[in-house]
Amino acid sequence: MKLYIKSLLPVAAIALSLGLTSCVGDLDVKPIDPSTNMTVNPQNLFNKCYANMAVAGNGGANGDSDIDGIDGGTSGFLRQLFNSQELTADEAISAWGDEGVQPLNKNQWNSEHPFLRGFYYRLFFGVTVCNHYLDVASNYDATMTAEVRFLRALYYYYLMDGWGNIGFRTTVGSDKPGQMSRADLYKWIESELLAAEQNMAAAKPEKDTEEGYGRADKAAAWLLLSRLYLNAEVYTGKAEWAKAKEYAKKVMDSSYKLHTGSTVNGWTAYQQLFMADNGSNGASEEAVLALLQDGEKTTSYGTSLFLMAGAFNDDMNDSQFISGNNTTGKWEGHRARPELVAKFFPQGNAPEVTTADMQQAAGDNRALFWGKDRTLKIAEPTKFKQGYSVTKFNNYRTDGAKTKNSLFPDADFFFMRAAEAYLTYGEADARLNGGTTTSEGTAAINKVRARAAASQLTSYSLIEILDEWSREFYFEGRRRTDLIRFDRFGGNNNYNWSWKSGVATGANFSKDMNLFPLPNTEINTNSNLKQNHGY
């Protein structure tokens, strides 16, 4: 079935529910869209640029989706980011039989893969909405315009990272866009972020009751630039480690900081990042960019709920430690591959215990796994109890108060976290120092580990840093990119994981698969596009 982008103009109810409208003044200016000769509400269109990452469409979880040809619950930005980055790599595996899940588990996708097509069109929908705003309302508010330019660069970043050489356009139109090379798109994204940053708000964390929460500021631009530079050698063939380190340091020196607060009612500082009250419990000091979620207003099957309900079943309870996810959703889907658990238990001695006991045994608060009544080995990917469950995301509040909805969570997703800057700084430092961190890089990584009550090292090798990326950010949608940067994804690298390439013990697959195939629907309708090599 062909997928295509549907509605362009937003419905105000969903856009307003993201809580962003109070951040700017009254809508005195009503630009005219020359293509329709109709007035446009800049605020609603601006909010829709953000809403593309937080909800599926204009009608809530059970309403219409912006992306046709794919189930609305499946089409969510975060859900497909997870599928493309985590199921394809060494951290996550899913038990579900939905079309598309097992091919991702086993690195067997092609140009007709429904989830990859869905993510591709979700990203281009974001580009289109941003282009529309910039076409008709770029003079409305300088800060808002800078944020929209940032968001468009963000969407293009993920298209560049996943698909490489893509159709490119900066205005809304019906003509077929020409194809831009990955290297040229890299240059455009860099220049766009550098330009947008100048007019973005000052780098300042907020709580969910304060203006600016959920909006990108200068720190978001710096963090995306540091990510861009960290992967520059993959995208262009030229390394930019010094620039990655420079822009990571800008975030580290800003008002954003690692959330290192005290344990509250059994919830550690690290866990507080992923809870229902993370916008108010102090953890948002780390949230460079949060995708806002509300159990009543922004219902979605493809954002925080997917990460929670997809990882749980009914037997995950412990009277000594609050577990479960405080929603009625127990979907028995994704769980940890044994290679992820081994990052915390390198001796192969991971116990079959509850989360609280797992953290203690690992000596690391980030070991949020449920091993009770589970097997570490995964002999059959479709069996949920084969593979440790992941309890990282939940819908509990640190204060024990009731959440708004029994199914849909209030937990915002911290899409960009300050911790990324510390690990980027450490890795770039090691790359510039022959593969081992200097004292500065070591200190940055040790701060991340200290927050988790993990042991401190005197230096870190690149492989140790790759493992640290996994321990800190597993299931947050970046693993495939990290493995490619370390040449541990496609190619004859002999870095294997369970069910890699469809083999139980893992097997190499072609380096061509470091890029996803352009969807067959795009190739068939746009003669300007050439398919990626190997597909």
pLDDT, one tens digit per residue, over 289-336 is 999 999 999 999 999 999 999 999 988 875 434 444 566 688 999 999
> Which of 534, 521, 434 lies closest to 121 in space, CA to CA?
521
Tell me the mean pLDDT in the region 500-522. 98
Q: In this model, does residue 7 exceed pLDDT 70?
A: no
**pLDDT mean across residues, the chain:** 91
15 inside domain = yes
**Cβ distance 240 to 433 under 8 Å?**
no
Determine if the pTM surpasses 0.75.
Answer: yes
Q: What would the two tokens of residue 375 be? A: 């097997």
267 inside domain = no
312 inside domain = no
449 inside domain = no
Euclidean distance between CA atoms 51 and 57, whole angstroms: 8
Residues 6+ apart with CB under 8 A from 506: 496, 497, 498, 499, 500
Q: What would the two tokens of residue 381 be? A: 């990917």
Domain that holds residue 34: 1-197+502-535
pLDDT, one tens digit per residue, over 171-228 is 999 899 999 999 999 999 999 999 999 999 999 999 999 999 999 999 999 999 999 9
Q: For the domain that residue 92 is a member of, what is the CATH number?
A: 1.25.40.390
Q: In this model, does residue 34 exceed pLDDT 90?
A: no
What counts of helices (H) and strands (E) characterise the chain?
18, 12
34 inside domain = yes
Q: In this model, does residue 412 exceed pLDDT 90?
A: yes
pLDDT for the residue numbered 73:
83
17 inside domain = yes
Task: Give the H or E element holding residue 336.
Answer: strand 334-336
347 inside domain = no
pLDDT, one tens digit per residue, over 357-375 is 999 999 999 999 999 999 9
Separation in Å, CA 206 to CA 62, 149, 494: 31, 22, 44
pLDDT, one tens digit per residue, over 76-92 is 999 999 999 999 999 99
Residue 212 burial (CB < 10 Å; 0-12/13-18/19+)?
middle
In the chain, the number of structural domains is: 1
92 inside domain = yes
Q: Tell me how far the alpha carbon of residue 129 is from its chain's centroid.
A: 20
pLDDT, one tens digit per residue, over 452-479 is 999 999 999 999 999 999 999 999 999 9
Going by pLDDT thresholds of 50, 70 and 90, the confidence category of residue 69 is confident
